[in-house]
Amino acid sequence: MHMTKKSFLAFIMTLTLIIGIASPFTQKAFAAENDPLGINASAAIAIEASTGKILYGKNIDETLGIASMTKMMTEYLLLEAIEEGKVSWDQKYKPSDYVYKISQHTNLSNVPLRKDGSYTVRELFEAMAIYSANGAAIAIAEIVGGSETNFVKMMNEKAKEMGIKNAKFVNATGLNNRDLQGMHPEGTGEDDENEMSARAVATLAYNLLKNYPEVLETASIPKKVFQEGTDDAINMENWNWMLPGLVFGTEGVDGLKTGYTEYAGSCFTATAERNGMRIITVVMNAKGNGSNPYVPRFEETRKLLNYAFSNFSVEELFPKEYQIKGESTLPVVKGKEKKVSIYTKEPLLLAIKRGENDVYKEKYVLDEKILNEKGELTAPIKKGTKVGYMTVEYTGKGEDLGFINGVSGAKVDLVTKNTVEKANWFVLTMRGIGGIIGDIWDGITGMVKGWFS
């Protein structure tokens, strides 16, 4: 059948219309297939807290606004300063003009501070961690860094130390700089705002909980009175409404930090523990149908937590003192024995999806710094000497999301099984002579073979 130019154009227009109508449905079907949870947020991630294993991810590497989730870094730097003895919990602080002015801003999360007041570091920390008080966060930045400008430099440097490449910190609070009344840190723009990816935020939370788990003692407090018993007493209700006892109370939730700005949208880094497994989740720019902009972050977080706890568990993949057949000895030089056995110091644990116990293969990674060029250990060697670590590789057919920092967090130390003492001078001398004789004999044998070949 021959088609005229007119009928061909009509066919193309009809086909285009059909594709245009079908496209949204096709896109939705594709999205549903690739995001079975249907997380209504610009980005989201769920990880297991002990290893950083990613259990779920959606758009986890796009840089987005983080709002007051920023305060996790402010918490980290304060707790680090306390650990190092540079700051103490009972240390007193008198508000600067900057902190005083911001703390009086009633449209922001705040506990108003008196210009002539004096506050302990602990009081300021509780106001920040529970009530997301912005004036208190800037006060902590001044205590730790001397100024917020210097503190911002510390924030960005610490992010790099954690292996985070796409973080941009411009203040200690997470506010948009325009909310800082022209007093924003030097070197930052008037409308700048802090940005990270979901992976980066999860990495920050992972490090915070790993190094300073005591943060949860404060982050889990649902309600507290600031300056209780004084004329300045203020009831602080935790912005984390998923804490048990609050409106979205959820089993096991005990942290960590909410956030909201017009730019970042509704954000939340949550953590919960059930049956010995701790999960960290991040949702960024969560969306919902209601008028309250704070609710969607909790609705989407609940989906992530339910998915993680229903489908994953931490399992012992390999026991303590495990050895890979054919790979569990190392050659030794200058020792009474010529080799030493190695095994795992602890059992290897990993959060795995139910039914996937057999899709991980063990692998040794030796520390080349303690081996010579020939891959040998040099005696004397003590029992329990660390020689590397054992990790696992995914061998399944499905998608494996790996770990937040790109390096497996599922690893255990490899150590020597026994002691190897250094051989005495006579044994070493005889071995040396034997080696020389062996070389001479090999040379004679080669020569004779050459004569008769």
Q: Which two tokens stand for residue 1?
A: 């059948």
Residues contacting 130, CB < 8 A, separation 6+:
218, 219, 221, 224, 236, 238
Known catalytic membership, residue 68: yes
- Contact criterion met (CB below 8 Å) for 282 and 202: yes
CA-CA distance, 116 to 333, in Å (whole number)? 71
CA-CA distance, 143 to 8, in Å (whole number)? 74
CA-CA distance, 234 to 212, in Å (whole number)? 27
- Contact criterion met (CB below 8 Å) for 301 and 242: yes
CA-CA distance, 158 to 79, in Å (whole number)? 13
Q: Give the residue among 433, 414, 430 at the shortest CA–CA distance from 371.
A: 414
Angle, vertex CA 424, rays to CA 422 and CA 419, nearest 5: 25
- Contact criterion met (CB below 8 Å) for 97 and 116: no
- In sequence order, what E strands does 2-85 have? 41-48, 53-58, 64-65
CA-CA distance, 40 to 296, in Å (whole number)? 8
- Contact criterion met (CB below 8 Å) for 37 and 94: no
Q: Which of 50, 53, 58, 71 is catalytic?
A: 71
**DSSP letter (8 states) at residue 179:** G
Which residues is 120 bridged to in the sheet? 92
- Contact criterion met (CB below 8 Å) for 60 and 198: yes
Q: Which of 42, 50, 68, 220 is catalytic?
A: 68
Known catalytic membership, residue 397: no
**DSSP letter (8 states) at residue 185:** P
- Contact criterion met (CB below 8 Å) for 219 and 242: no
Q: Which two tokens stand for residue 290?
A: 């209601």
**CB-count burial class (<10 Å; 0-12, 13-18, 19+) for 47:** buried
The helix (run of H) or strand (run of E) holding residue 80 is helix 71-83
CA-CA distance, 159 to 201, in Å (whole number)? 10
Task: Tell me if residue 409 falls in helix, strand or coil.
Answer: coil
Q: Which of 42, 103, 109, 132 is catalytic?
A: 132
How many other CB atoms are found less than 10 A from the CB of residue 452? 5
How many other CB atoms are found less than 10 A from the CB of residue 388? 19
Torsional sign, CA 382, 386, 388, 391:
positive
- Positions annotated as catalytic residues are 68, 71, 132
